[in-house]
Amino acid sequence: MIGTLNRLVDLVERDTAGDLDVAAWARSLGTTEHHLRRMFSSLAGMPLSEYVRRRRMTLAAADVVRGERDLLGIAVRHGYGSTEAFARAFRAVHGAGPSEVRRTGGPLRAQPRLSFQLTVRGADPMDVRVVDRPAFRLVGHAARVPLVHEGANPRIAAHVAAIPAAEHQRLKALSGTEPRGLLSVSDDLDPDRAEGTELTHLHGVAVQAGASVPGDLDVLEVPAGTWAVFRSSGPHPAALQETWAATATEWFPSNPWRLRPGPEVVAVLERADDFSTATCELWLPVEPA
């Protein structure tokens, strides 16, 4: 995976003015767009689209400062059809327009070219199992919420708190297959996992594919497939979020699996009364790399 990401950076450098055709890049690298975007954003700390934008504007700034072309020529060279669109994108990155930078030489905010390197990690083994599951259904109460990378998600907390206690018990009674118990489901995530982008959060349970469910519940149909199941234990949600991050930084780069599209599911196995600590299972849909 490290080599794949470095080859991706090479492709970005060769075509900073072209369209962001991540699907074509993924095919040329022998992987999928879904997995490539997730691994890049997890390891680089920014979405691929944001990195491309920053690199494009870094190279454009060098052209602006050198003054060898007019601004329209620079805009076209870097993939913009007008000086207005180019100026907006330029200002969003550098905090000043290209005309101002040409006069004063700055300010400029350069994005260095990324280089992914292997770091020796993994002294603590990850608790993971890989299981094949037939199709099943996720049923419960869904809401659109923003993605939060660290700490509690207040929108999810408010959504769950608004569900009456009796409804939690009704959902538990419906649970009929793995993953067992009340579940926290993330679906329809932004491909780059950018913080603040919206996802569908479902608080509910898993039932068998043919099971009937009350008509007032939201339903996600999950096709048959393979899942990597990671166990985390400790302060909540920090331990779970650390495990989620480690799947990208440690497990996927060293195992012959990649992410496939599908919901990401958290099952809480044990927890303190105040939810300060918890033991959880993180279910991620995978396929052979």
Confidence check: pLDDT of 188 > 70: yes
Q: What pTM does this model have?
A: 0.76
**pLDDT band at 221; cut points 50, 70, 90:** very high
> CA 163, 169, 170, 171 torsion: positive or negative?
positive
**pLDDT band at 8; cut points 50, 70, 90:** very high
Structure tokens that stand for 278 in this block: 């918890």
Q: What is the amino acid identity at position 39?
A: M
CB neighbours of 210 closer than 8 A, spacing ≥ 6?
none
Q: Which residues on adjacent β-strands are paired with residue 265? A: 185, 283
pLDDT of residue 121: 54
pLDDT of residue 57: 87
Confidence check: pLDDT of 118 > 70: no
Confidence check: pLDDT of 106 > 80: no
Confidence check: pLDDT of 254 > 70: yes
